[in-house]
């Protein structure tokens, strides 16, 4: 909760300037914990499918952020409602990702344990970074925010909305038009772009561990970037400067947002959120 309270303070600095914001967040550690709890208690209670675990993590983290922000705003004398929307995100059932699961989730297992899980129908792969076998699931591209009209109504009423937690709950439309959850994980940055674009946001601010985006990150010739045009960002992205699972999705989401809206995207650190929002630091991705 300490990290959430710190986050709330940085976000409140922006809200204090009279800015209407919509908040998104990840859920990696928390959904991993939920899956581990499923495994440990499997003999006693039925395990929940991945889409339900995602929904559970949205509610949990949304509650934390919502309460921390309400407390921080009260201390600053700001009267604004805060609400979390459990968000479904439409994906294409024919997305190639469903044929090639690559997103690691949950705890690590020995090879013997992994084989037993594969017998149950799970797809398992060896995770070099974690030095163990882990479950992999599809990570399809997000297409549409299902609750967009509800979110718009809340924003227009002056509510600070927390939505698309962990990339949202992946759902497909069946042939008869019904929504149905699927076992997958959507990248949180790409889902954030869908939300920002559908809301026609003036800016999209992605907060991460570094103040600016770098070329040759981690090398002696690393170079920070103040401004990138979309064309430059695409060039660097295609050259492999921004690795998947790290800066890659953030830059790709920024490219898409700027292309779709003509507005700017900014990537910076949480500690520099206000300065980045005001254009005083961070990496700006602009049309061109």
pLDDT of the residue at 108: 86
Sequence-ordered list of residues with C-beta below 8 angstroms from that of 80, at least 6 positions apart, any chain? 15, 73, 158, 159, 160
Whether residues 208 and 279 fall in one domain: yes
pLDDT of the residue at 245: 74
pLDDT of the residue at 33: 80
- Dist CA 142 CA 148 (whole Å): 13
Residue 271 — very low, low, confident or very high, per pLDDT cuts 50/70/90? very high
Q: What CATH number is associated with residue 60?
A: 3.40.1160.10
- Dist CA 133 CA 138 (whole Å): 16
Residue 24 — very low, low, confident or very high, per pLDDT cuts 50/70/90? very high
Whether residues 193 and 220 fall in one domain: no
- Give yes or no for residue 204 having a pLDDT over 80: yes
Whether residues 129 and 186 fall in one domain: no
Closest by alpha carbon to 123, among 94, 143, 97? 97
Whether residues 1 and 52 fall in one domain: yes
pLDDT of the residue at 103: 84
What domain count does the chain have?
A: 3
- Dist CA 201 CA 254 (whole Å): 12
Structure tokens at 241: 């400067």
- Dist CA 253 CA 197 (whole Å): 10
Residue 129's domain comprises: 101-137
Whether residues 56 and 152 fall in one domain: yes
Q: 265 φ, ψ to 5°?
A: -115, 150
pLDDT in tens, 233-243: 999 999 999 98
- The pTM of the full predicted model, rounded to 2 decimals, is 0.91
C-alpha R_g of the chain: 19
pLDDT in tens, 95-144: 999 999 888 887 889 999 999 989 988 899 998 878 899 888 899 999 99
- Give yes or no for residue 35 having a pLDDT over 80: no
């Amino acid at each position: 909760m300490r990290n959430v309270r710190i986050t709330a303070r940085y976000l409140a600095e922006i809200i204090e300037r009279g800015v209407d914001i919509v908040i998104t967040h990840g859920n990696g550690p928390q959904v991993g914990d939920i899956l581990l709890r499923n495994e440990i208690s499997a003999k006693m209670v039925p395990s929940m499918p991945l889409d339900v675990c995602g929904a559970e993590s949205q509610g949990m983290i949304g509650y934390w952020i919502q309460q921390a922000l309400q407390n921080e705003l009260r201390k600053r004398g700001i009267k604004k409602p805060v609400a979390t929307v459990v968000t479904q995100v439409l994906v294409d059932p024919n997305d190639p990702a469903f044929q090639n699961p690559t997103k690691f989730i949950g705890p690590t297992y020995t090879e013997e344990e992994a084989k037993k899980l594969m017998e149950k129908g799970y797809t398992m792969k060896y995770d070099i970074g974690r030095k163990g076998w882990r479950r992999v699931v599809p990570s399809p591209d997000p297409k549409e925010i299902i609750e967009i009209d509800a979110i718009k109504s809340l924003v227009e009423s002056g509510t600070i909305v927390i939505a698309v937690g962990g990339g949202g709950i992946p759902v497909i439309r069946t042939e008869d038009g019904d929504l149905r959850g699927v076992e997958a994980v959507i990248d949180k940055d790409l889902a954030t772009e869908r939300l920002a674009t559908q809301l026609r946001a003036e800016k999209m601010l992605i907060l991460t561990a570094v103040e600016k985006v770098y070329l040759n990150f981690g090398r002696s010739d690393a170079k920070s970037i103040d401004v990138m045009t979309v064309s430059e960002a695409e060039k660097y992205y295609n050259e492999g400067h921004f690795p998947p699972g790290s800066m890659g999705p953030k830059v790709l989401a920024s490219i898409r947002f700027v292309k779709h809206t003509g507005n700017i995207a900014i990537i910076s650190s949480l500690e520099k959120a206000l300065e980045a929002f005001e254009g005083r630091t961070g990496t700006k991705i602009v049309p061109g």
